[in-house]
Amino acid sequence: MDPVTAKLMSAAGAAADPVYVDDVFSTFLYDGTGADQTITNGIDLSGEGGMVWIKNRDNANDDHYVFDTERGATKYIFTNSDQQEYDISTTLKSFTSTGFTLGLYDGVNRNNTDICSWAFRKCPGFFDVVTYTGNGSASGQTISHNLGSAPGSIWIKRTSAAEDWCVYHRSVGTAGHVRLNKTTNYTTNQKFANVTSTSFDIVDADVMINGNGDSYVAYIFAHDDQSFGDGGNEAIIKCGSFNSTGGVVDINLGFEPQWLLIKRSDANNSWIIVDEMRGNPVGSAAAYLEPNGSGAESTITGWTVPTPTGFTNNYPISGGTFIYIAIRRPNKPPSAGTDVLAMDTRGSTGDGNEPTYRSSFPVDMQFNRNVTYAGGSMQISARLTQGLQMHTNLTGAESTNSGMMFDYNNGVQTDTGTGSSQYAWMFKRAPGFFDVVTYTGDGQSNRQISHNLGAVPQLILVKQRDATRSWAVYSAPTGTGKFLKLDGNDAAITQSGVFDTAPTSSIFTVETNTYVNISGGDYIAYLFGNVDGISKVGSYTGTGSARNLDFGFTAGARFFLYKRTDDSQNWVLFDTERGITAGTDYGIPLNETDAQFSGDYVDPYTAGISLTGSVANNSGATFIYLAIA
């Protein structure tokens, strides 16, 4: 069955598994080795087909290499050049069901350098690749494709000889084109017509698109095809435009982007690519590459700041017109706790290699500390604010930490020392489980903040980033009109003006209190939800005697954070990395500098965790908790 027919059957109600952006797109960062290596990015390129784009981040003399399954492995073209196709067996050697393999060729695998790859899988509603042969006809020809929706952008490159890239973008229209390998602005010279869900026309005999007997490849990107996600009603790619004002422009995509390609179309400006993997943080510089040049990665501040619903642009000149392609951030639901929570100690990975702490997924938030050192603070940081940090036990403003970096697929780099006492707890953003949001306060009541948790948040940690102020914590068990302090041991504080309205699956509401919404203040919020069998936020009343807490898990809790809410008591964490056993366990406070304490406090329990006595279980006391399988 061809992809378009499959899509139509799905739309008609035929049973089909949901497709997520995670299934069809990947930004994968790797270290060049100068020797054969396998890149496992989770994208089925050998079975479904697609394109891989590779650029060395460090070396200014390495081109942008583009490979695809239609032309075959080892054959590449450059986005930054008009050169013809080349074929070298030691470049991209093969496409696999989980990524691709590389040879020793410097351009794609230079030893001891940082390299970026973007993989686009062929999929109706997202991306397609076709090849064709030019006929040299003045009336052009029709090129069929399997995108299944009207393309938002089409990139054509002659592969049999040197020629510029010819780019159609829906915001420019068919009256003209732009060139991917150049900084030049939009050209009023028609090359495309009749761009539909099954084909597009090239309109003349120009060798750029239709030289007689010449070979061509076309990369075809969808726009706003709402057939993805759990309900088959989400878009994962949009091709649009905006005009600069000389100030901040808010571009609403309906989703937070993980990848952005932007070009000013009415003037000579470079194309730029930013993505969340290499770093597109809020409040510090974003890493970008230029598809039209071979330059090394550089940074720029304020140009493409992500928001929960799109991005903002702060181009300093008013009146510029920009085109873009935006791809939604990962949103595939987790199937196990290990998909979204990893814990590590430098005792096992203190090998001097990066990243400092290792995980099986890209990390979106982490906290870490030396657990045996009395006087240590718990660092906390996020991919969305890369290079900046705060502390769970302190009220201080965010500070710069260039050693706190998230541009890895397998963990996070920190500035903490080595040794078995150094621990990190690492989280991945995922539907229902966890989300991270930044916002600027406006001092107004009933301020609604959008989020992408996709479920009602059960626990929200809020901190002003640019001022000395306590953390404010909302929990569903304690309800509205109350809040807790993460940096203190206080009981739940009854106070209006903080969290007066219960959150929903798309927004949470803050009021006028400076903890959460001072005008002009920069804030960050960490949101946790309940996912059956994976995570649970809840409450219980202590009994003072041994008892089991049932969270609906099947192999016990790996992470158990609790806080007494009716009286003063610390936030305390137990975890299986340090030990949840029938013997000695280790608890660490989040709001204090105390070293971890030990004793027989918690035991394994298949459905959750077992409390052995009065710790976290004072008779008649009320507690909230966050548990993760």
Q: What is the pLDDT of residues 320-377, one digit of tens each?
A: 999 999 999 999 999 999 999 999 998 765 576 889 999 999 999 999 999 999 999 9
Q: Give 286-323 pLDDT, tens digit per residue.
A: 999 999 999 999 999 888 999 999 999 999 889 999 99
Same domain? For 96 and 150 the reply is no
Give residue 133's domain range: 127-221
Q: What is the DSSP letter of 149?
A: S
**E strands in 371-506:** 379-382, 388-391, 399-400, 411-412, 422-427, 434-440, 447-450, 459-464, 472-475, 482-483, 493-494
Residues 183-205, mean pLDDT to the nearest whole number: 96
**φ, ψ for residue 435 (rounded to 5)?**
-145, 160
Residue 184's DSSP bridge partners are: none
What's the pLDDT score for residue 7?
43
Domain end call among 221, 251, 282? 221
Same domain? For 112 and 139 the reply is no
Same domain? For 114 and 35 the reply is yes
What's the pLDDT score for residue 613?
83
| Residue 445 neighbours by CB distance under 10 Å | 15
Q: Does the pLDDT value for residue 90 go beyond 50?
A: yes
Label each residue of 500-564 as H, E or C: CCCCCCCEEEECCCHHHHCCCCEEEEEEECCECCCEEEEEEECCCCCEEEECCCCCCCCEEEEEE
From residue 526, give the alpha-carbon distance in Å to each of 403, 446, 467, 472: 22, 19, 18, 11
Distance CA 337, CA 576 (A): 13
Same domain? For 133 and 215 the reply is yes
Q: Does the pLDDT value for residue 1 go beyond 60?
A: no
Split at pLDDT 50, 70, 90, the class of 9 is very low
Residues 234-253, mean pLDDT to the nearest whole number: 96
What's the pLDDT score for residue 365?
98
What's the pLDDT score for residue 350?
59
What's the pLDDT score for residue 10?
42
Same domain? For 25 and 117 the reply is yes
Same domain? For 489 and 518 the reply is yes
Same domain? For 551 and 522 the reply is no
Helix (H) or strand (E) holding 322, with range, is: strand 318-328
Domain contains 231:
no
Domain contains 489:
yes
Q: What pTM value is reported for the model?
A: 0.95
Distance CA 46, CA 41 (A): 13
Residues 91-111, mean pLDDT to the nearest whole number: 98
Domain end call among 194, 221, 248? 221
Domain contains 97:
yes
Split at pLDDT 50, 70, 90, the class of 606 is very high
Instruction: Encode burial over 237-260: b for 16+ CB neighbours within 10 A, e otherwise.
Output: bbbbbbebeeeeeebebebbbbbb
Same domain? For 341 and 396 the reply is yes
Domain contains 9:
no
What's the pLDDT score for residue 13?
38
- Poorest-pLDDT segment among 116-125, 411-420, 480-489: 411-420
What's the pLDDT score for residue 348?
60
Average pLDDT, the chain: 95
Domain contains 107:
yes
Same domain? For 564 and 621 the reply is yes
The answer to whether 141 and 192 have CB atoms below 8 angstroms apart is: no
Cis amide bond preceding 355, omega within 30: yes
Domain contains 232:
no
The answer to whether 195 and 154 have CB atoms below 8 angstroms apart is: yes
Domain end call among 400, 427, 454? 427
The answer to whether 399 and 390 have CB atoms below 8 angstroms apart is: yes
Per the structure, the count of domains in the chain is 6
Domain contains 246:
yes
- Poorest-pLDDT segment among 31-45, 169-183, 416-430, 496-510: 416-430
Same domain? For 349 and 314 the reply is no
Q: Which two tokens stand for residue 435?
A: 């989300």
At residue 20's C-alpha, the angle toward residues 46 and 233, to 5°, is: 135
Domain contains 473:
yes
Distance CA 159, CA 208 (A): 10
What's the pLDDT score for residue 349?
56
Split at pLDDT 50, 70, 90, the class of 415 is confident
What's the pLDDT score for residue 391?
98
Question: By percentage, how much of the chain surpasses pLDDT 90?
Answer: 92
- Poorest-pLDDT segment among 16-20, 55-59, 419-423: 419-423
Q: Which residue has the tokens 């029938």?
A: 582
Same domain? For 205 and 291 the reply is no
